[in-house]
Amino acid sequence: MDRILKDKKAIFLFVFPAALVFTVIIILPIIFSAYYSLLNWNGIGKGTFVGLKNYINLFVNNTDGFTKSVKNSFVLALLSVVIQLPISLLLALILARGVKGEGFFRTIYFIPVIISTVVIGQLWMKIYHPEYGMLNIILKGIGLGGLSHAWLAEGKTALGAAFIPILWQYIGYHMLLMYAGIKSISPDIYEAAKIDGASEFHMATRITIPLIKPILEVCVVFAVTGSFKSFDLIYILTNGGPLHASEVPSTLMYNTIFNKYMYGYGSAMSTFIIVECLVFTLIIRKAFQRRKGDEF
Q: What is the mean pLDDT of residues 211-226?
A: 95
pLDDT at 44: 84
Distances (CA, A) of 146 to 136, 139, 140, 150, 153: 10, 8, 8, 12, 17
pLDDT at 292: 60
**Residue 296 confidence (pLDDT) above 50:** no
Class of domain 63-295 (CATH, top level)? mainly alpha
Q: Give the span between the Cα atoms of 201 and 195, in whole angstroms.
A: 15
Task: Write out the H or E segment, with its range, that includes residue 40.
Answer: strand 39-40
> What band does 291 get if pLDDT is binned at 50, 70 and 90?
low
Percent over 70 (pLDDT), the chain: 96
pLDDT at 182: 94
**Helix ranges restricted to H, the chain:** 2-6, 8-22, 28-36, 53-56, 66-79, 85-96, 102-114, 117-128, 134-141, 155-183, 187-195, 200-203, 209-211, 213-228, 232-237, 249-258, 263-295
pLDDT at 142: 92
> What band does 228 get if pLDDT is binned at 50, 70 and 90?
very high
pLDDT tens readout for residues 79-135: 999 999 999 999 999 998 878 888 899 999 999 999 999 999 999 999 999 888 999
Q: Give the span between the Cα atoms of 75 and 72, in whole angstroms.
A: 5
pLDDT tens readout for residues 43-54: 888 889 999 999
pLDDT at 176: 94
**Residue 27 confidence (pLDDT) above 80:** yes
pLDDT at 65: 84
Mean pLDDT of the chain: 90
Percent over 90 (pLDDT), the chain: 70
Checking 254-259 for CB contacts under 8 A at 24+ apart, the result is 256/64, 257/43
Report the SS3 class of residue 39.
Answer: strand
pLDDT at 10: 78
pLDDT at 13: 84
**Residue 294 confidence (pLDDT) above 80:** no
pLDDT tens readout for residues 229-276: 999 999 999 999 888 899 999 999 999 999 989 999 999 999 999 999
